[in-house]
Chain A
């Protein structure tokens, strides 16, 4: 099972990630699927990460935590947050197939970031939900 996103869909996704997140101070944001593929990634130009490895590890990490949730009787943990000294990483599920990952510094409060991520997720769902229905 494969899936495609066309230029118009990707332009809309990038516009959402840019205006909601990068323009608000997020260093790096990427949208991945649960197989570890990168759908799109944007950054503020400061730092280059090895995004393919990050995506593979993020998908695995999120999958592992979701499996843990099931074992303890939770349906899922829909978001995850890891705090570093300078960089923080935040994962938010969009649909069953897609995950939004943001990397941000301590100049942004977690509350503000969560708000912006939640707004982005609502907008991204409209584009990605039809796809998730067809992909398995």
Chain B
């Protein structure tokens, strides 16, 4: 078990697919109130690694991901992708799997992927083949002429994954892609994802709120503090890909998980404590959290 204490690690520039330099960000709500979401975040994401972002709900993970993807403007600081500062969406370099279901309900699964390719600027005669290939990779060939509402939650997430993978970007940003699913399905899809990605050598940032998912999938796990998010710790998970389900039952897995939870606990308490208010309620919540931390992945 090893914790890299330094933040924004000094990797050689050519190794970094993405560099986040001193990024801060605030939302201004309609009534003029300012909500600071990111506080001076610096981070290098190495080429080919799978980096997990984990942190309390509402801390700013999606915001960070959207800034990296060029969908939101940083208040200060900057993000570079492949050495170039990001100023807007960069669909040839990075693709998204969003937190909520974003398949177009008016298109079939196949057309959803083809439309994505059209948006990215892929010539028309290549779209069909590439879309079918991507659906094949996630095991949805049979369902390619179904509409999203005819698929289960897990299938929809796989379709979203296929859509992102069909774009063949070197970088994929995933925002809790399995959050809406039950634990078993999530673990299963995680395994599949691990196998799929081990072959592809893509750079992945994966936001998750599942400790097990983070440890199972990540090369490095970035723990964020409560809002405004800054980087609390970075955990290196030294384990080869693809990872076997047996890894989940190992002592090393439990150690990583406990270490991760140790970092998160104080931050979650800040979030939940502030939300609940009274000391008695906070006590009850604290017990609730430590109970849920005890369950096996």
A, B: real partners:
no
Chain B residues in the interface with A (C-beta under 8 A): none
Chain A residues in the interface with B (C-beta under 8 A): none
